[in-house]
Amino acid sequence: MDISKQSIETSPDSVSAGIRAISPMLLGTAPFGIVFGAFALDMGLGIEGGQAMSLLVFAGSAQFVGANLFGQGASIVVIAVTTLFINLRHTLYGASLGPRLLNAKPSERILMSFFLTDESFAIVSQFKEVRARYYWGAALAMYFNWQVWTFVGLVSGSYLKGLVSLSLGFVMVPAFIAIIVPQLKNAGSFICGISAAGISLIFSDFPNQIGLIIAATVAIIATLMFEYFMSSNRPDLDRGQE
């Protein structure tokens, strides 16, 4: 089964359509945002610093690492370089999404890259062509959603000390389930998901989330090989049905 044939040609040309598409994922990020707010407060960033990080960085797991490094007294350079490595997967997102964006000037694409998240990429990646308004609807909805839940965690941080001690792997689960499950629509997507999960577990101890980059690369290769195998054998299958 060719995954490309399962893709919808062009996204809607509407901000509201993008908001509606990503709305099921907004609640899934709530625990993540609340815990980050409480964690940032615990690391000494304060309400202003924690909210500023969400406003200016907007990068989930990288914000946790950055706040932790800040709490340990790390330099700005160390924090910046570390968070850059953590977000390397976004280069894969950008390489995939860039050629499909319609009606977006180079300057607008640069701004779009800041708002690109796992959730917004999952929403727009189902289309062969993505209209800018649709992207902005999904991306900005997630951005403002993240700010709200960060603020909730910050203002209630003194009452949420227990949440800070929870495993971040636990609070991230709802968000990533909301991203992944809707994408499992055919055999190719299952192969991609299973191979990525398996490889990421094998390389989970690698530093700076390098294992995540390896897992994504292997999953892409495995899916492309599956597509090639299915497309090359389809003529034989079609003849067998005649």
Give the tens place of pLDDT for each residue, 27-56: 888 888 988 998 898 889 999 999 999 999
Q: Does the pLDDT value for residue 151 go beyond 90?
A: yes
Q: Give the least confident one: 89-98, 107-116, 125-134, 139-148.
A: 89-98
The C-alpha atoms of residue 111 and residue 140 are separated, in whole angstroms, by 12
For the whole model, what pTM was predicted? 0.69
**Which of 26, 7, 39, 19 is closest to 154 using CA atoms?**
39
Angle value at C-alpha 51, between 136 and 23, nearest 5 degrees: 35
Question: What are 130's strand-pairing partners?
Answer: 101
Band of residue 6 on the pLDDT scale cut at 50, 70, 90: very low
Cite the beta strand spans of the chain per DSSP E: 8-10, 101-102, 127-131
Q: Does the pLDDT value for residue 168 go beyond 70?
A: no
Q: How is the chain split into domains, by residue range?
A: 3-183
Q: Does the pLDDT value for residue 5 go beyond 50?
A: no
Q: What percent of the chain has pLDDT over 90?
A: 25
Q: Does the pLDDT value for residue 94 go beyond 70?
A: yes
